[in-house]
Amino acid sequence: MIKGVLFDMDGVLLDSEEFITRAGMMMFREKGFTVKESDFKPFTGMGENRFLGGVAEKQGIPFDLEKDKARAYAIYEQITRGKLKPLKGVPEFIARCRKKNLKLAVATSADEVKMRINLRETGLQESLFDALVNGLQVEHKKPHPEIYLLAADKLHLRPEECLVVEDALSGMKAAKAAGCKCLAITSSFKAEEFDRADWVVNDMTSVPDECLNW
């Protein structure tokens, strides 16, 4: 029986990919290197360590993880101010979950600073969620299931009692490896790519009732 919903953040609650990609490009440009938007795509949903570090590794760019990531986040905070909003249907879906007395958690591969910027700028109050889990709290990133196992634990639930809402293939794999059911949102990948998801929808306005009734 479903008792909790674990939300990935980027591509699920909001779409920040454009902004974090632009911040990454600007950060690398400050270092004297030019990278393209497409360079970031393979690392979507894996957290900024990999999102930025993977591009640096692939392009042979010297990369100081903490310094360069902090600079990218500073740029990100500047360029997102007043520009982030929840994705279509998100507030209403959260309300549906709350009406059914489900416990809610954010489980994002992003660092805490980005998670809090995103929640603040979208107007999604932290108090809407019973637990917040960020990428700095886990050793293994998605597709490893650790983040969803931790989120379920923080809600005092078993993974098999939880629905994960994801937009990335690595997140789908993490959800299923954790033993959760998975609702996939096609904001980042095509529907046919979510071959292991239990449900696939375009956005949260079209989530079937059965997702919250099992």
Whole-number Cα distances in Å, 126 to 98, 130, 184, 188:
14, 8, 23, 24
* Structure token digits, residue 47: 């957290």
Catalytic annotation present for 111 = no
Q: Which backbone phi and psi does 163 adopt, to 5 degrees?
A: -100, 130
* Structure token digits, residue 16: 């920040």
Residue recorded with tokens 């059914």: 100
Paired with 10 in beta bridges are 14
Judged by DSSP in three states, 200 sits in strand
Secondary structure element (H or E) that encloses residue 107, with its range:
strand 103-107
Q: Given 10, 39, 68, 198, which residue is catalytic?
A: 10
Q: Given 8, 39, 68, 198, which residue is catalytic?
A: 8
Q: What letter does residue 37 receive in the DSSP assignment? A: G
Catalytic annotation present for 68 = no
Three-state secondary structure readout of 152-186: HHHCCCCHHHEEEEECCHHHHHHHHHHCCEEEEEC
> What distance in Å separates the CA atoms of residue 207 and residue 11, rounded to the nearest whole number?
15
> What distance in Å separates the CA atoms of residue 40 and residue 29, rounded to the nearest whole number?
15
Catalytic residue numbers? 8, 10
